[in-house]
Structure 1
Amino acid sequence: MKKYIFIVGLLFPYALLAQTILGKVTNDKKEPLNGASIHWLDTDLETSTGDKGEFEISSKDISNKKLIASFEGHSSDTIEITNQTFVVFKLKKENILNEVVIKKNREKATLSNLIAIKTEIITQKELGKAACCDLAGCFETQTTVQPQTTNVITNSKELRILGLSGIYNQVLIDGFPMIQGLSYTYGISGIPGTLVDNIYVSKGANSVLQGFESISGQINVETKDPDTTDKLLLNAYINNFEEKHLNANYAFKKAKWSNLTAFHTVQPANKIDRDKDNFLDLPQLTRYMISNKWKYGNEKDWGWSSKIGLKFLNEKRIGGQTFYNSEKDQGSNSIYGQTVNINQPEFWAKTAYKFNDDNKITLFTSSFFQDQKSYFGTVKYNAQQTNFYSNLQYEVNYSQKHLLKSGISFRYLKLNENIGFTDTTLPRTYAGNYIRNEIIPGVFLENSMSFLKDKITWIAGIRGDQHNQFGFTITPRTLLKYDLTPKTTFRASIGTGWRTVNLFSENIGLLVSSRDIVFAEQLRPERATNFGVNVTQKFEIENLSGYFSADYYRTNFKNQIFPDYDSDPTKAIIKNFDGKSVSNGFQAELYLKILKRFEFKIGYNFLDVYREVNGNKQLLPFNPRNKVITTYSYKPLTNKFHFDVNIHWYGEQRLPDTKSNPVEFQRPYFSQQYTLVNAQFTYKFKKFEVYSGCENIFNFRQNQPIISWQNPFSQYFDTSSVWGPTRGREIYAGIRFRVLN
């Protein structure tokens, strides 16, 4: 310390004049940390440490003088600056091994060499590069997740990973399974982008702690924390279709408590029909959402801590023919339309008690109820679902190399679906009341271990769950990471997963089309094994840093439920498929940051997703075999503005077989290739940000995607051949107003 005091004494007058803070970052063994991130709370001003852990950062015009230091695999630390000109951070190494791999910290993209699970993190900085009105739009700059439209008339979407339907990846909100069953169809659209803090995306086998369902991957959406977010955030957005979005977040703190209240609304667009098929290009959407999040204490500190969330969603979607009136034409057999009305209250809580640095117990509980009333042409679909989830978890760090987590879980689902027809002209036979009750208690155990001076990290987990109808199932998973060099990491994973089927909510297109739904047999749970490998290479030289990552994942299904649209164009046949069903996914990605101003990323995705039927390979529809995404960003050192462009190229996709239809209702067996280009410009004032952008700049569209749109009540009416954008070019503008805490 004498050395530090001497240096401070020499530099004190110069530091005052330059308004800078000098410092050093070390670990708890006083070893310097190279590449640690240093930033002022609630600002974009950031720097990083050099070889000796030293840094220098400007303090000019900083009102909230809380300086934060963070480093991969270590707990962050905050120092409040009063009169100091030199500070020393000592960061303690974390023991949690299963959360983060690829980290976009602030605007810098790095790859952690500590974590076993390959996880991409989409931060607020990354989300600011596109409009991101809701969760479905938060993946514009990301290669792994592909948003896919499931119903073009109401614009419902799913999030695909590894070319598999979104039902095979687990979507969590703050670690809770709130997107499940009935909420799967529209749930991802009910989360505004302004409420999202980080999105964690991982492919393949994951931790067993959150359940047995994730087969292709996991998406965990972390909402903003009350004690670290803006005190006030207002966001207003409008596009050229005149769809309007308004968001308001307000946060406050009092003693150990903090609170965030958020309001979100969407008001409907104009009626637009560019391709003259008499159907709206986008639905009339009205949404109101209010949420409240409480936080008590800090879970890293000893003692009690808690987070509590409340939310209510009201949503109405209206789509169909341009002259459809939802007030008087619901269920009409002469004017085609669809209406969906949703009300959903939900609650979740996470309460923990930390006994000491090595022992902690946590209780997770969540519940939601959804009431949906809807019409799809002459199909009336009303449904109610009640969900309850609980997880009691105990963790113990029984040595410096082992972290054991164990616990019990409980899931309850009650789903009541009522289907009727207002017209019986078509030979449809599936009307009736469908009731599901699931009770699933479970136990789990997961151990995280490190060897060879942390060069090898191994996570081994297993869980057992007792389903009230399908009996007991064991789900094992294991993940391995090996640091070949300090900047080169190899990872491998293998594990099983299973899930029960919610047929109508997960295949909403079945209710939309005129096909009859035929249940050939009783449906069993879907089961699969996934394994994958990944290698990442980080690099950093003068004025250039980045990473290269490549991975391969394979999913083998033991049983899969996939509606058969090909055998009969007038029917969707539902049955178990226990033959060969495979997904092969290869992805390569290169990220560069140049001169601290330019960011460039290019990613390539290859998908081979198929089933073998009677010895013949049958590609599954709506998967581009080849896809390329390229992103460009420019931000000057002043951070006054940034300009972002992303380009998506989609290869051809196999489409449902329509060769048995009359010629006028047939479609090609494969889609065409296409490219989408999006751009956004953002300019920052002191408390304001204004942004404007354009999606699908070159206005590529799939014209008249609906089969038999001329007669929507005929047996050939089908909306399932949508493979590309249908609304065309979208121009938007918005404004954000922030008051920092």
Structure 2
Amino acid sequence: MKSRILLLFCLLTSSAFGQFTLNGKISLAGQTEPPFGASVYIQELKIGTSADTSGNYTLSAIPAGSYTLKISYVSHPTITERNFRISQNLTKDFVMKAGENALNEVVVTGTMKEVSKLDSPVPVDIITAKFIYKNPVPSIFEGLSYVNGVRPQLNCNVCSTGDIHINGLEGPYTMVLIDGMPMVSGLSTVYGLSGIPNSLIDRVEIVKGPASTLYGSEAVGGLINIITKNPSKAPTFSADAFSTSWRDYNVDLGVKLTPGPKVSSLLGINYFNYQNPVDHNNDGFTDLTLQKRISVFNKWSFTLPDNKMASIAARYYYEDRWGGQMGWNKSLRGGDEVYGESIYTSRFEVLGAYQLPSPEKLTLQYSFSSHNQNSVYGNVPFNADQKITFAQLLWDKEVGKHNLLFGAPFRYTFYNDNTPATKYPDGKDHADKTYLPGIFVQDEIKLGAHVLLLGARYDYNSRHGSIFTPRMAYKYKFNQTDVVRLNVGRGFRIVNLFTEDHAALTGSRQVIVKEALNPEQSWNANINFVKKIVTGNSFVGFDASVFYTYFTNRILPDYDTNPNEIIYDNLDGHAVSKGVSLNLDFNFPFPLKIIAGGTYMENFQVENGVKFRPVLTEKFTGIWSVSYEFEKAGISFDYTGNIYGPMRLPLLSEDDPRAATSPVWSLQNIQMTKKFSNGLEIYGGIKNLLNFTPPANSIARSFDPFDKNVTFDSQGQVVATPGNPNRLTFDPSYVFAPNQGIRGFLGMRYTFR
């Protein structure tokens, strides 16, 4: 009898004090691997546990009651269960969806196949639309300035042309893709990164290192793949509009259409307008190039029989861009009285993919672009037309432990302009036509925790002949959180002089090509180590890389031999780019996230035994992003910034009074966002908090842009005169940072699902 009473007392005590157990399993949406280390935390009791290697979790000794339960894992959005009632032993499973910076996001760029980021043998950085929203920008070109090791570089103080440097390598070494298609290259490189509607960007994938085996020329230093949203998964309507105190206006619109059960479409429009010429540094020139552009992008997705897929997209882009002396107007276009650079750009693109009706995995990818430019640089006209046709057949085949990919690409480039480069000796017009067929194979071999990727590509360039590029990648996965990768590959690049002699059009320098240029060749190696350190209900992501690139036949612009010339020639020697990069990602149990990264690099060239550092190459870069959210209030704060080390700048002579190196400089921004439950967001803040701008004398002899008062000797060298004692000519290529100082911004974003 006593034992029965004691047992009843224990049961009543257990019910009264609620010593219950909560258990279950956590999984990741679309992933087979469990989220080892995922945190389960009861906020009121301040107790928690972590998921084991199978994703299972158990929390014991929980008193009966209603609690706030939080489940978090490695940059995935935290699952919050409010008023979670526990009155008995309970089993509860959770499925987590990937969020921004999630280490298990799907990537395609490294191997041309969809794999999770952690499983990819090639390291890939991912930038999502949410990351871009932390510091809203009118184009993806500016948004990349907060990615570690990636730096948008302005190349002209007047027209604000630019390219993207990866790990200190100049823009021509970076290949830019849209949905895997080589859309931004050649003539379009200078302006093609503007006007891609941010509302249509799903993510941006960045590969730092050799990618020529899969993607061909230009992918020597790395590549940037801008992946647009899948129409079937996009929101029904999205809008984003903002303006700054400089009176520039940007609008992004996105609309999803579903005309049928197996057809979906996404329409995006970007409009940017800046018509407020200012000259804060008093050099007589606009500090920021005036621009008026519109871009319309339409993408269609089709579901075919046997669940095959097809897509097609088209974009039209038009821009009117101008920079120059403050007194310029369009009636002075092309004259030599008042200096102005006026560029009209009209561009049309088509790209798509089609999975062939075959039992094999056969996909046809294709693209076409037409780029027309009507421009004047002072009194120098530059009119050019470029058309690129690209097609590629891919065959994806699995044989045992081998995952094979075969590709047969073909690229045709038509280029014509009004310069002597496309003229016969008798003066007749001669368009440049280049044919580039190729073939490549990639074999990914999976052996448990080891993955070996081997690849080779052969191209035949109608001008340069045969080009061979091999590649090897190795990945070892220690466990669910630690991965090491080794990548080695060869790259090649064929020079495109418009992209690289653009500085000549903006000043008085003449382009000299000393001999027929041979393709550049390089060997690149990098080691990448990724580790996730889980501590209770928080974690630190650690991503470190060491990289090394050795160039031969490097094509270099020589700014130093003659101040009035840019001389292009293959380097008689070699060049090296090497360095180390580190990324850190901190996630805390409270709503604070910190992303920080830094890259230290050394770039040098050796010619005739002399070692020297190229211009516009920094020693180190750093980036950071700090975000904090007040969940109940729907208010978040973002503090973003970057810092750049000194870089050598192009001087006109030893008498040039401008500094030979840039200072250490930083661009920092702060933003507050208020989110409403109906999908509306209002945001605002301050850009360039430190109000950093380059020196006021960055443009040499800005008062004499046509060199009317410059004296030259019989060899074309500048002669010192009382009015020009430093032997300068007009030169706007001395540029390393934007001229926009501190400014406020305000915007509104709306999404309807």
- TM category (shorter chain) comes to 0.7 to 0.9
Give the counterpart of 2:680 among 684, 688, 698: 688
The alignment covers a number of residue pairs equal to 660
- Segments of structure 2 that go 5 or more residues without pairing to the other structure are 1-22, 41-48, 59-71, 76-90, 98-103, 711-728
Equivalent residue, structure 1, for 2:642: 648
Equivalent residue, structure 2, for 1:334: 337
Cα displacement string for residues 463-511 of structure 1 (whole angstroms, at most 9, x for unaligned residues) = 1111111111111111111123432221111111112111123331121
2:286 partner letter: L
Alignment of 1:426-441 (within 5 A): 435-441=431-437
Comparing 249-258 and 379-388, the one that deviates more: 249-258
Equivalent residue, structure 2, for 1:575: 569
Give the counterpart of 2:201 among 196, 204, 208: 196
TM-score (norm 2): 0.82
Comparing 23-32 and 700-709, the one that deviates more: 23-32
Compared CA separation, residues 444 and 166, structure 1 to 2 (3 A): same
Cα displacement string for residues 369-394 of structure 1 (whole angstroms, at most 9, x for unaligned residues) = 01100000111000000100000011
SS for the counterpart of 2:553 is strand
Compared CA separation, residues 295 and 435, structure 1 to 2 (3 A): same
Comparing 213-222 and 640-649, the one that deviates more: 640-649
SS for the counterpart of 2:286 is coil
Equivalent residue, structure 1, for 2:326: 322
Compared CA separation, residues 355 and 583, structure 1 to 2 (3 A): same
Aligned-residue offset at 1:26: 8.4
CA distance in 2, matches of 1:294, 1:26: 29
Comparing 436-445 and 627-636, the one that deviates more: 627-636
The answer to whether the 8 A contact 1:25-1:49 is kept is no
Compared CA separation, residues 292 and 434, structure 1 to 2 (3 A): same
Give the counterpart of 1:174 among 171, 179, 184: 179
Equivalent residue, structure 1, for 2:13: none
Alignment of 1:364-403 (within 5 A): 364-399=365-400, 401-403=401-403
Equivalent residue, structure 1, for 2:289: 283
Equivalent residue, structure 2, for 1:311: 315
SS for the counterpart of 2:504 is helix
Equivalent residue, structure 1, for 2:408: 408
The answer to whether the 8 A contact 1:379-1:419 is kept is no
Give the counterpart of 1:707 among 679, 700, 703: 700
CA distance in 2, matches of 1:150, 1:54: 54
Aligned-residue offset at 1:519: 2.0
Aligned-residue offset at 1:432: 9.2
Equivalent residue, structure 2, for 1:482: 476
Equivalent residue, structure 1, for 2:417: 417
CA distance in 2, matches of 1:405, 1:265: 40
CA distance in 1, matches of 2:735, 2:33: 57
SS for the counterpart of 2:747 is strand
TM-score (norm 1): 0.83
Aligned-residue offset at 1:70: 12
Give the counterpart of 1:266 among 269, 272, 289: 272
CA distance in 1, matches of 2:184, 2:39: 34
SS for the counterpart of 2:215 is coil
Aligned-residue RMSD, C-alpha: 3.3
CA distance in 2, matches of 1:340, 1:26: 49
CA distance in 2, matches of 1:490, 1:524: 36
Aligned-residue offset at 1:269: 3.1
Comparing 596-605 and 458-467, the one that deviates more: 596-605
2:296 partner letter: I
SS for the counterpart of 1:562 is strand
Equivalent residue, structure 2, for 1:447: 443
Equivalent residue, structure 2, for 1:496: 490
1:667 partner letter: R
Compared CA separation, residues 324 and 37, structure 1 to 2 (3 A): farther
The answer to whether the 8 A contact 2:39-2:536 is kept is no
Aligned-residue offset at 1:571: 1.4
Equivalent residue, structure 2, for 1:736: 749
Equivalent residue, structure 2, for 1:672: 663
SS for the counterpart of 2:699 is coil
Aligned-residue offset at 1:266: 1.0
Equivalent residue, structure 2, for 1:544: 538
CA distance in 2, matches of 1:588, 1:24: 30
1:413 partner letter: T
Aligned-residue offset at 1:227: 1.1
The answer to whether the 8 A contact 1:659-1:666 is kept is no
Compared CA separation, residues 288 and 644, structure 1 to 2 (3 A): same
The answer to whether the 8 A contact 1:371-1:385 is kept is yes
Cα displacement string for residues 253-278 of structure 1 (whole angstroms, at most 9, x for unaligned residues) = 22011100111111123111001111
CA distance in 1, matches of 2:30, 2:158: 58
Aligned-residue offset at 1:639: 7.7
The answer to whether the 8 A contact 2:340-2:378 is kept is yes
Higher CA-based Rg: 2
The answer to whether the 8 A contact 2:456-2:469 is kept is yes
Compared CA separation, residues 717 and 266, structure 1 to 2 (3 A): same
SS for the counterpart of 1:178 is strand
CA distance in 2, matches of 1:564, 1:30: 54
Comparing 134-143 and 164-173, the one that deviates more: 134-143
The answer to whether the 8 A contact 1:630-1:647 is kept is yes
Aligned-residue offset at 1:682: 1.2
Aligned-residue offset at 1:728: 1.2
Alignment of 1:50-89 (within 5 A): 50-51=51-52, 53=55
Compared CA separation, residues 432 and 276, structure 1 to 2 (3 A): farther
CA distance in 1, matches of 2:93, 2:306: 26
Aligned-residue offset at 1:675: 2.4
Alignment of 1:140-155 (within 5 A): 140-155=145-160
CA distance in 1, matches of 2:154, 2:232: 36
Cα displacement string for residues 15-39 of structure 1 (whole angstroms, at most 9, x for unaligned residues) = xxxxxx987548999996546899x
Give the counterpart of 2:163 among 158, 175, 194: 158
CA distance in 1, matches of 2:599, 2:294: 36
The answer to whether the 8 A contact 2:314-2:351 is kept is yes
CA distance in 2, matches of 1:634, 1:414: 50
1:369 partner letter: S
The answer to whether the 8 A contact 2:123-2:485 is kept is yes
CA distance in 2, matches of 1:708, 1:26: 61
CA distance in 1, matches of 2:445, 2:306: 24
Aligned-residue offset at 1:674: 1.9
The answer to whether the 8 A contact 1:261-1:290 is kept is yes
Cα displacement string for residues 589-638 of structure 1 (whole angstroms, at most 9, x for unaligned residues) = 22111124111122121121111133221101112212222221112344
Cα displacement string for residues 413-434 of structure 1 (whole angstroms, at most 9, x for unaligned residues) = 011011399xxxxxxx9x9967
SS for the counterpart of 1:517 is strand
State the identity as a percent.
28
SS for the counterpart of 1:595 is coil
Equivalent residue, structure 1, for 2:713: none
